[in-house]
Amino acid sequence: MDPVVREAQGRGHFRSPRQLGVVVAGRECRHHQHSPQAVARPDWQKEARVPIFSVADLRVAFGAVEVVHGVSFGVEPGKTLAIVGESGSGKSVSLLGATGLLPPAASVRGSVLHKGDEILGLSAGDLRRRRGAGIGFVFQDPLSNLHPLKTIGQQIAEAITAHRRVGRGELRQRVLDLLADVGIPDPSARVNDYPRQFSGGMRQRVMIAAAIALNPGLIIADEPTTALDVTVQASILDLLKRIQQDHGTAMIFVSHDLAVVSDIADDVLVMRAGHVVEQAPAELIYRAPRQAYTRELLGAARLGGLVARAARSSLLPALPSMPDLLSVSAIARSFAGRSAAGGLIRPVLTNISFTVRENEIVGLVGESGSGKSTIGRLIAGLDRPDEGSISLRERIYSRPGVGGIAIDRKLRSDIQVIFQDPYASLNPRRRIRSILAEPFIIGTRLDAAAIRRRVQDLVRHVELPDDVLDRYPAQLSGGQRQRVAIARAIALEPSLIVADEPVSALDITTQAKIIRLLQTIRRQRGLSLLFISHDLGVVSELCDRVIVLEKGVIVEAGETGRVFGAPRHPYTVRLIDAIPGKVLRRNPVPERIAAHA
């Protein structure tokens, strides 16, 4: 029996087909019974004025605490409603409550209509069937929503067999058609691969394939492009728009980033602290937002930083001539290919050379897999190059056979790292006080009282209240955890910080606050940063110079305003063109905000 069919019929233990139908849902049985070319599409345009999904006065509470306060919205076939707000604004909780996916401890009141039927109050089984048949879900992190020990074909097949009976041959063909439809190259060769064998963007395409498996009338996409690089993000947005146009699917798109949703939304609903702040057609939101909070979100939109920086590049004074702090000279790095029986060598970096000056922030940008993080690991002493050398203040500390974990303690304290996910880099079993004390315990001879004072100074320096010291990482928000990670990195007053995607997982306003904090720390302490990111808007706002990396090779480098304002290499142009927010590009953020000041 085909492994896709066998596993789908075998009902694996990680997620039952019924549960998987809830997570990635499906499409109605009367649609897509064969290949996509054979589908008889509904005349959705005639039905477009009637909402397929509507919520009225939705209230969600956990115990005595109400977290969503009277939210109302609706979305019509073929239309996209974007729900935007910071982390904790109630975006996801509202949708999970409306679709019956919150835990039993949650209290949900109000009215939720799906295809004209009230679904709030339905039994768990009825809700599951309705979700599976009519609502597809695409979540932020496909790796945590895909079974690591099941092939992608098995998991897509489960989304189908959970809700209808289908023959083995038809099932396999349907899975292959879906993979082709979402742009997976050579579906017959990849159908038996596992999630770990795909890039982040390809895993998200697999999630979308499972979500559209039974042709739902509604797709709920919850932060589906967060943490993806700009070109992958653009391709996922294009895919969702194409699916919507082909099938008249309604979509609710949840995001913290108004630049992203500007390319896809028909209507925008802005939430804050469980309340609807503003709701209007997208064009009106971007052209003339009425509420100060909406204008704040627009001001934080990353494209605004890029446009503003490029526009004023000719007005920026020349960078002062500072001595070089870090020098990277002709380094190369290769890894053994996983599929090679005889140890195939896969080059990751080729002839990389650049410098970072004293008191300078240098951005390193490129797509996923370009080698950015490998450079960061080499500079931080977590790996060593195969060729070339790396020096700090003209002292070589890393070259073939030298470096890695063997670098001395003084040098290691002079180069610190801020990682992308502070939750993974902070010990969950230790209080913040203990986490911040550790660098002083290991790297200094201070007594306990002096360490306590230093720790208190650190939290104030990164603008955190003193009471966080007695909390655990899980009790902090994402932005607070990243501030703790920054505090730990600056504890021993390093000369250089390697910041590897430090804001990519944060909402847009929190990103702006962390950027301002890094600028303040750089100004007050005179340290240098190598800022690794796929987000050109963030880099344009923060960095003095930028290095563009493609497939392990530097293709362009220079002052940030020049590179983004007048790019010379086609790859740089492609990265800039892929940035979301064409509406914002036509109406730059600073001008729009100034009009409301």
Q: Report pLDDT digits (tens) over 178-222.
A: 999 999 989 999 999 999 888 888 899 999 999 999 899 999 999
Asked whether this chain's domains 3-301 and 314-426+492-580 adopt the same fold, the reply is yes
CB-based contacts of 410, cutoff 8 Å, min separation 6? none
Arithmetic mean of pLDDT, 461-485: 91
Print burial letters for 457-474: b (CB count within 10 Å at least 16), e (below 16). Answer: ebbebbebeeebbeebbe
For residue 299, pLDDT beyond 90: no
Tokens of 312: 């004023």
For residue 310, pLDDT beyond 50: no
If you write DSSP's letter for every residue of 415-448 in order, what string do you get? EEEE-S-HHHHS-TTS-HHHHHHHHHHHH----H
Residue 541: what pLDDT?
A: 85
Arithmetic mean of pLDDT, 152-161: 94
Return the amino acid letter for 453.
R
| 108 beta partners | 60
For residue 304, pLDDT beyond 50: no
| Per-residue pLDDT tens over the stretch 493-532 | 999 999 999 988 788 888 888 999 999 999 999 999 999 9
Rounded CA-CA distance 418/531 in Å is 9
Residue 2: what pLDDT?
A: 46
Burial (CB count within 10 angstroms: exposed 0-12, middle 13-18, buried 19+), residue 196: exposed
CB-based contacts of 151, cutoff 8 Å, min separation 6? 3, 4, 7, 191, 192, 193, 194
Residue 413: what pLDDT?
A: 87
Which of 226-230, 249-253, 478-482 has the lowest average pLDDT? Answer: 226-230
For residue 301, pLDDT beyond 60: yes
3-state SS assignment for residue 457: helix
Residue 404: what pLDDT?
A: 56
Strands across the sheet with 53-62, in order? Answer: 65-75, 53-62, 106-114, 117-118
Arithmetic mean of pLDDT, 456-474: 93
| 389 beta partners | 329
For residue 31, pLDDT beyond 80: no
Residue % of the chain over a pLDDT of 70: 83
362 neighbors 356 (Cβ within 8 angstroms): yes
CATH number of 3-301: 3.40.50.300
For residue 124, pLDDT beyond 80: yes
Arithmetic mean of pLDDT, 45-70: 88
Give residue 40's pLDDT band: very low, low, confident or very high (50, 70, 90).
very low
Look up residue 319 and give its DSSP letter.
Answer: P
Closest to 430 in 3D by CA, of 397, 379, 468: 468
Residue 225: what pLDDT?
A: 86
Question: Which H or E run contains 558?
Answer: strand 553-559
CB-based contacts of 556, cutoff 8 Å, min separation 6? 547, 548, 563, 567, 568, 569, 571, 572
For residue 314, pLDDT beyond 70: no
Using the structure block, give the residue that is written with the tokens 């390193």: 364
Strand 496-500, strand 415-418: pairing: parallel
84 neighbors 258 (Cβ within 8 angstroms): yes
Give residue 586's pLDDT band: very low, low, confident or very high (50, 70, 90).
low
Does the structural domain 314-426+492-580 have CATH classification 3.40.50.1970? no
For residue 594, pLDDT beyond 50: no
For residue 342, pLDDT beyond 60: no
Tokens of 100: 């019956």
| Per-residue pLDDT tens over the stretch 416-450 | 999 888 878 899 999 999 999 999 999 889 999 99
| Per-residue pLDDT tens over the stretch 539-580 | 988 999 999 999 999 999 999 999 999 999 999 999 988 887
Residue 196: what pLDDT?
A: 86
The pTM for the full model equals: 0.74
Residue 263: what pLDDT?
A: 85
| Per-residue pLDDT tens over the stretch 352-379 | 999 999 999 999 999 888 899 999 999 9
Residue 427: what pLDDT?
A: 93
Residue 12: what pLDDT?
A: 36
Residue % of the chain over a pLDDT of 90: 58
Residue 401: what pLDDT?
A: 78
Strand 528-533, strand 65-75: pairing: unpaired
Give residue 6's pLDDT band: very low, low, confident or very high (50, 70, 90).
very low
C-beta atoms surrounding 6 within 10 Å: 12
Give residue 25's pLDDT band: very low, low, confident or very high (50, 70, 90).
very low
194 neighbors 152 (Cβ within 8 angstroms): yes
Domain ranges of the chain: 3-301, 314-426+492-580
Look up residue 182 and give its DSSP letter.
Answer: T
| Per-residue pLDDT tens over the stretch 99-114 | 999 998 899 999 999 9
Query: Taking the mean position of all CA atoms in its chain, how far away is CA 466?
Result: 30
Residue 319: what pLDDT?
A: 54
Residue 424: what pLDDT?
A: 80
Residue 229: what pLDDT?
A: 82
**340 phi-psi bin (left φ>0, alpha ψ -120 to 50, beta other):** beta
Closest to 541 in 3D by CA, of 299, 194, 181, 199: 299
